[in-house]
Structure 1
Amino acid sequence: MADILVTTTENIPGKDYEIIGEAFGVTTQSRNAISDFGAGLKSIVGGEIKGYTKMLTNSRLEAISRLKEEAAKMGVDAVVMMRFDTGSIAGDMQSVVAYGTAVKYQN
């Protein structure tokens, strides 16, 4: 996969580019039953549920990786204005999408 720059900024210093289109990467993950049971117990006493934190961190990394793959297929150099969006599915699954504007350098 090409080295695609992904940035949350609108502009890339020193680069002129044309907008090619929207690019995104999505993943949906769930924890196993044992982790869900542990999370239920943790919700009684409060505090961070580390299993879910790890799942969401991994989901974000996977979504960015898939965003880069999609951008590479489009033949672009970078993705600007990258954002994340998340949502729950059926109460025990989490979907994460990374999306942004795919651009091609004009230099």
Structure 2
Amino acid sequence: MSKILVTTTEQIPGQTYEVLGEVFGLTTQSKNLMRNIGAGLKGLVGGEIKDYTKMLDESRNVAVDRLRTNAEAMGADAVVMMRFDSSSISDDMQSVAAYGTAVKYTTPTE
């Protein structure tokens, strides 16, 4: 597991850094037949569709792992201003993107 810090904030307390550039982590997941059947049944009675929630949670984790991998390949120490975006590609596919700014720590000059 990469040790690259990922934060949603713009600043990292106690750190100065240079911006390396934007970085992304992407994944697309499809719903399986069992999830679709379960969702259809849940749609009749209402409430949370836990299989879909689990799929989205797994997708977000995969996207962040890929974001870290891409940042590490750029030589980054951290990713700031990380955000998520998600969308449906079709009725049975969901895409999740994690994106942010890769940064490299610098030593303050006096």
Q: TM-score normalized by structure 1? A: 0.96
Amino acid at match of 1:79: V
- Aligned residue-pair number: 107
Q: What is residue 88 of structure 1 aligned with on the other side?
A: 88
- Displacement, 1:2? 4.2
Amino acid at match of 1:43: G
What is the CA RMSD across the aligned residues, in angstroms?
0.9
| Superimposed CA distance per residue, residues 71-103 of structure 1 (whole angstroms, 9 cap, x where no aligned partner) | 000001000000000000111111000000000
Distance in structure 2 (CA, Å) of the matches to 1:106 and 1:51? 43
SS at match of 2:9: coil
Distance in structure 2 (CA, Å) of the matches to 1:30 and 1:87? 12
Q: What is residue 53 of structure 1 aligned with on the other side?
A: 53
SS at match of 1:99: strand
1:15-54 matches, cutoff 5 A: 15-54=15-54
Unaligned runs of 5+ in 2: none
Distance in structure 2 (CA, Å) of the matches to 1:38 and 1:10? 40
Q: What is residue 101 of structure 1 aligned with on the other side?
A: 101
Unaligned runs of 5+ in 1: none
SS at match of 1:44: helix
Regions of 4+ moved over 6 Å: none
- Aligned-residue sequence identity (percent) comes to 65
Amino acid at match of 2:53: T
